[in-house]
């Protein structure tokens, strides 16, 4: 699953999601690559799981 190269995404930024890709979205809040899961939930919040999102059509979205 793709992850951004850096972790400087912040509210108001946009990110381009690629058609056909599967993204793992963080639901625990401990990821250092928010809004994407970086696996931190395994140690920081073991009861949490990321949310998998399959992109049907590419485009950008605003980060909130």
Residue ranges binding ligand FES (CB under 6 A): 26-28, 30-31, 37-41, 48, 50
Q: Residue 17 or residue 30: which is nearer to ligand FES going by CB?
A: 30
Instruction: Provide the minimum distance between the beta carbon of 31 and ligand FES in the complex, in angstroms, as a whole number.
Output: 4
Alpha-carbon distances, residue 57 vs 26, 31, 32 (angstroms):
21, 25, 26
Q: Residue 23 or residue 31: which is nearer to ligand FES going by CB?
A: 31
Q: What is the largest CA-CA distance in the chain?
A: 33
Q: Residue 25 or residue 55: which is nearer to ligand FES going by CB?
A: 25
SS3 assignment, position 15: strand
């Amino acid at each position: 699953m793709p992850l951004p190269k850096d972790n400087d995404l912040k509210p108001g930024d946009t990110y381009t999601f690629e058609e056909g890709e599967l993204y793992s979205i963080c639901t625990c809040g401990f990821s250092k690559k928010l809004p994407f899961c970086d696996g931190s939930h395994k140690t920081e919040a073991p009861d949490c799981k990321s949310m998998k999102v399959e992109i049907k059509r590419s485009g950008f979205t605003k980060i909130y």
